[in-house]
Amino acid sequence: MGSWTTQNDARQRRLAAGGQFAQGKAVAVDKLTSFLEAVIHPGDRVCLEGDNQKQAQVLAQGLVGVDPQKVHDLHMVQSGIVLPEHLDLYERGIARKLDYSYSGPQSRRITTMLADGKIELGAVHTYLELFARYFIDLTPNIALIAAVCADKHGNLYTGPNTEDTPTIVEATAFKGGLVIAQVEKIVDSVPRVDIPGDRVHFVVETGKPFYVEPLFTRDPALITETQILCAMLAIKGIYAPYQVQRINHGIGFSTAAIELLLPTYGEALGLKGKICTHWALNPHPTLIPAIEAGWVQQIHSFGSEVGMENYMAARPDVYFTGADGSLRSNRAFCQTAGLYACDIFIGSTLQIDLQGNSSTVTATRTAGFGGAPNMGSDPHGRRHPSTPWLKAGEEANPDMAPALRRGRKLVVQIGETFGDKNTSLFVENLDAILLADKLKLELAPVMIYADDVTHIVTEEGIANLLLCRSSAEREQAIRGVAGYTELGRGRDAALVDQLRQRRVIQRPEDLGIDLLDADRRWLAARSVKDLMVASGGLYNPPSKFRNW
């Protein structure tokens, strides 16, 4: 038997090689590429911190600059493929294999590169899945991460955008790997320690903040009356009867509409304090009016949102904040919270098939999954009861003995029957199947599987799939809310009528909702400026959202 310390020995060699470019832990940015060539070995597994929001963009640029003769065949394991550099690594022959979660802005290019065989794909994961594999079979040798600032010991302050960093560092630093952080500044003392310095081996001072995009800001000015109608249906037809208090929202305009309707429509229905009190949610600016009106008790966040920093720091009763006063986010914990501690997930999608499978991919775009499949799935490891969970379980299995009956998480898909560019939300076959075929994937990238979906909400009404007793009923329930789309027009009118009698399908009028009532006047804020005003000037919207 040989050595038991090969990994730690390798780290010592990397530390020695890298140390030649460093003063203490600090590596000058102009030596970055040579430094990376010295510490990264061919075939290494590398996590280049690309999260949903923040990006280690300077380290990404440095890595793209390395000599492919020296550094090649890297296996990238990172949640977000967001920057062009993330894919340039494959064009330049530096990286070969990829395991990832989400590729929003690069979804088209990554699809082309996968089809051309330029990237050897491991798998597309959900966030929790990828994080889990960091500790089992995808442990990084090198982590290239991003923080706001560091002290000379390497203690890191990540600020509100902590996101994936603790998870990546945990997996790398405790298993013989090397952790390299980019920071804007090296300071005497950090405002709070998000990552302890003994887990950080090198620090690169860049003089500029890490790249971050506001992904969760929805301009209320763009919310349509149809989306408001869908929001009214969800509040009155789902939130109220199930008494949903612990909740996760997707990032679409329909859910933004729900957030803006809570202090107006929700208030008029007498629901304040009864629903939507505890959240797993990014800091959506559209939730500000509900927070200010006293609807929200607490929110845990996956990441931060540009412009919301001061507002959150001023509302520590609502948000999780550190000793320095600013938000502490954590994607892995919040995903876990969304999976196990929330009773409902509600989000938009691009395509739903006749059994209720849904997907956001099209034949030319592989956006990946992110976290929605975690939120939008029924966790079989859940054991604690709650009113909505038990009620949904009872609807699904009325004949089962209550003490043995599993509850159900509410998983709601919400959207207009005709979406962007008048494309139908409802399709016979998901484009995900075409894409899987094209890329020779074993699994079609399905965002939410049919057996997890409990409700579909469109402007035509709510389909409660928990109450369907056969796949034929399920199909008609879905066709029944598909409106004038081709699949909607293909419904069996008599069966749909029966389903409506049984309240499997509920039309707006069945819920006492007047279509003429679906009006923008319900929106507690009708512009980004209204949101800023509602926050008492604490919310500081990014320039791209201002119309003043």
Partner 1 sequence: MSDALRPITSWYESTARQRIAGLLDRGSFTEYIGPEQREMSPHLDLFDLPKQFDDGIVIGEGQLEGQRVYAAAQEGRFMGGAFGEVHGAKLIGLIRAARKHKRDVLISFDTGGVRLQEANAGEVSIAEIIRAILLARADGVRVIGLLGGRAGCYGGGGLIANCCSSLVISEQGRLSVSGPEVIETNHGVEEFDSKDRAFVWRTMGGKHRYLIGAVDAFVEDDIAAFRAAARTALAKQARFDLALVQAEQQRLATRLQRLGSLTDSLQIWKALGVEAPESISSLPTEAFLAASQTVRECADEAR
Which residues neighbour 140 within 8 Å (Cβ) at sequence distance 6 or greater? Answer: 45, 46, 47, 77, 134, 168, 171, 172, 177
From the list 210, 211, 209, 207, the residue with the least C-alpha distance to 26 is: 207
CB 483, min distance to partner 1, A: 17
CB nearer to partner 1: pick between 398 and 542: 542
**Sites of contact with partner 1 (CB under 8 A):** 221, 264-265, 267-268, 514, 516-517, 519-522, 526-527, 543-548
What are the residue ranges of helices labelled H in 20-83? 32-39, 57-64
- Length, in residues, of the chain: 548
292: helix, strand or coil: helix
Which residues neighbour 10 within 8 Å (Cβ) at sequence distance 6 or greater? Answer: 141, 176
CB 241, min distance to partner 1, A: 20
CB 237, min distance to partner 1, A: 16
CB nearer to partner 1: pick between 503 and 544: 544
- Judge contact between 74 and 104, C-beta under 8 A: no
Question: How far apart, in whole angstroms, are the C-alpha atoms of residue 494 and residue 500?
Answer: 10
Do β-strands 149-150 and 156-157 pair in parallel, antiparallel, or remain unpaired?
Answer: antiparallel
CB 524, min distance to partner 1, A: 11
CB nearer to partner 1: pick between 469 and 544: 544
Q: Whose structure tokens read 């599993």?
A: 406
- Judge contact between 363 and 197, C-beta under 8 A: no
CB nearer to partner 1: pick between 268 and 472: 268
CB 419, min distance to partner 1, A: 17
Residue 137 token pair? 């079979």
Question: Which residues are 98's β-sheet partners?
Answer: 76, 121
Question: In degrees to the nearest 10, what's the CA dihedral of 24, 26, 29, 35?
Answer: 60
CB 517, min distance to partner 1, A: 5
CB nearer to partner 1: pick between 489 and 546: 546
Residue 209 token pair? 């903040």
CB nearer to partner 1: pick between 196 and 537: 537
CB 272, min distance to partner 1, A: 13
CB nearer to partner 1: pick between 69 and 547: 547
